[in-house]
Amino acid sequence: MAQEPRQQRPLSEEELKAYYRAKRGKNLALLAALVGFIVLVYLVSLVRMGG
Amino acid sequence: MSDGTADIGSDIALGLGPAREQAGAGGEASVRDYVALLKPRVMTLVVFSGLAGLMVAPGALHPLLAAVAVLCIAIGAGAAGAINMWYDRDIDAVMSRTRSRPIPQGRVEPAEALGFGVVLSLFSVMLMGLAVNWTAAALLALANLFYVFVYTVWLKRRTPHNIVIGGAAGAFPPLIGWAAVTGSLAVAPLVLFLIVFLWTPPHFWALALYRTGDYARAGVPMLPVVAGAEATRRQMLLYTLVLLPLAPLPALLGVAGAVYAGVALLLGLLFVACALAVLRNRDPKAPKRMFGFSILYLFLLFAALIVDRAPGLLPELAPGLALLGGWAA
């Protein structure tokens, strides 16, 4: 007899909120890292080309 | 128009395994979990020793490029830590010291941690090469490869000398810092490398002495597990005795002054005293105290190196401030 696939527990309201919060935090951190990288590359280019 | 709830539904249906389901935040890793993967406490010491190498090196590096070099050392070290956590996830789950890490807790999937570490490692090496120089980048890559393949994969589970040889990975930052400024290597940074290299075994064995059960349970052949506590205590004293005359050597090589030499000698004597206290084995808390002191030892040693060198660097780093100082005098 084929085994039934394992059912995953649906998330509660509180867990969904925490899930949203964590995801939003990660997205903002990634945005900050990307913006920081762009600024860094710009500034490093200025320094390297200037000297 | 997309519906947020549908996105979450598909995410849950697609990705969350049982371990993540049990974890907080509905199974979604937080920024804090990714920061934890970078071993921030280890990173602090690595950054500090890298900064010391950078500051004692002869010559000048633009402050922005110096900051980029330090950033690359930090990211590279963190990336190696994330890959280490990916590889050691099985033993991390067994050891009480490490079982709260993001992977054993199910907050971060192992593959995510590996991807995170590899991407950051490549990024740090590329940025170091493009912004600073390729000698420093090659050393950073070598340090990461050494930590992951030589220490984590090859030595850690095979030999009690794991941290003796593997400790070399943590000794690279002063070399990288020096190479960032000069683009080459010399005797002085190699002495700094040796100091960290010889400091590592007593530091980790002090930890292993009061965590022997943890390491034994995980099957990691640390020296106290394999050779016993007595042999470990003798080895620890031996390393601190070798370190005692070596640590003041940068002063004789001209990269540090009398302040550094005095501090190095004093710290060295205290480190030997800690090792003697551990050897006498009268106080069960002695290994823990020695572990704490070993961290302080390296911090203060490199702080003395930086402080000793800082006045000479002031005109290069902040010419305006130095001029003002001269005018005021």
ipTM of the complex: 0.78
Q: What percent of chain B has pLDDT over 70?
A: 86
**Which of B8, B62, B131 is opposite residue A19, by nearest beta carbon?**
B8
Give me chain B's average pLDDT, please.
Answer: 88
Structure tokens at B253: 């090589």
Confidence band of B284 (pLDDT split at 50, 70, 90):
confident
Task: Please say if the pLDDT value at position B326 is more than 70.
Answer: no
Contacts of B31 in chain A (CB under 8 A): 22, 25-26, 29
Query: Which stretch of B15-29, B66-80, B284-298 has the lowest confidence by average pLDDT?
Result: B15-29
B131 → chain A, closest CA residue: A44
Question: What is the model's pLDDT at position A8?
Answer: 66
Q: What is the mean pLDDT of residues B60-73?
A: 96
Confidence band of A12 (pLDDT split at 50, 70, 90):
confident
d(CA A31, CA B133): 27
The torsion defined by the Cα of B17, A34, B124 and B80, in degrees rounded to 10, comes to -20
Summarised one tens digit per residue, pLDDT across range B207-234 is 999 999 999 999 999 999 999 999 999 9
The torsion defined by the Cα of B60, B64, B66 and B70, in degrees rounded to 10, comes to 170
Task: Please say if the pLDDT value at position B1 is more than 80.
Answer: no
Please tell me if residue B258 touches chain A, with a CB cutoff of 8 Å. no
Question: What is the model's pLDDT at position B316?
Answer: 57
Please tell me if residue B6 touches chain A, with a CB cutoff of 8 Å. no
Domain residue spans in chain B? 30-183, 186-310
Question: What is the model's pLDDT at position B12?
Answer: 39
d(CA B218, CA B203): 20
Confidence band of B283 (pLDDT split at 50, 70, 90):
confident
The torsion defined by the Cα of B163, B48, B91 and B157, in degrees rounded to 10, comes to -20
Question: What is the model's pLDDT at position B177?
Answer: 97
Describe the crossing of helices B187-210 and B168-182 by its angle, rounded to 10 degrees. 150
- Domain B30-183: which topology? Tetracycline Repressor; domain 2 (1.10.357)
Q: Which residue has the higher pLDDT, B312 or A6?
A: B312
d(CA B308, CA B261): 10
Q: Which residue has the higher pLDDT, B325 or B109?
A: B109
Question: What contacts B45, CB < 8 A, 6 or more positions away?
Answer: B295, B298, B299
Longest dimension (CA), chain A: 74
d(CA B204, CA B196): 12
Question: What is the model's pLDDT at position B317?
Answer: 54
Confidence band of B318 (pLDDT split at 50, 70, 90):
low
Summarised one tens digit per residue, pLDDT across range B186-200 is 999 999 999 999 999
Task: Please say if the pLDDT value at position B305 is more than 60.
Answer: yes
Question: What is the model's pLDDT at position B25?
Answer: 52
Interface test with B, best of A40, A42, A46, A49 (most B CBs within 10 A): A40
Summarised one tens digit per residue, pLDDT across range B97-117 is 999 999 999 999 999 999 999
Please tell me if residue B27 touches chain A, with a CB cutoff of 8 Å. yes
Task: Please say if the pLDDT value at position B311 is more than 80.
Answer: no
The CA distance from A5 to the nearest CA of chain B, in Å, is: 12
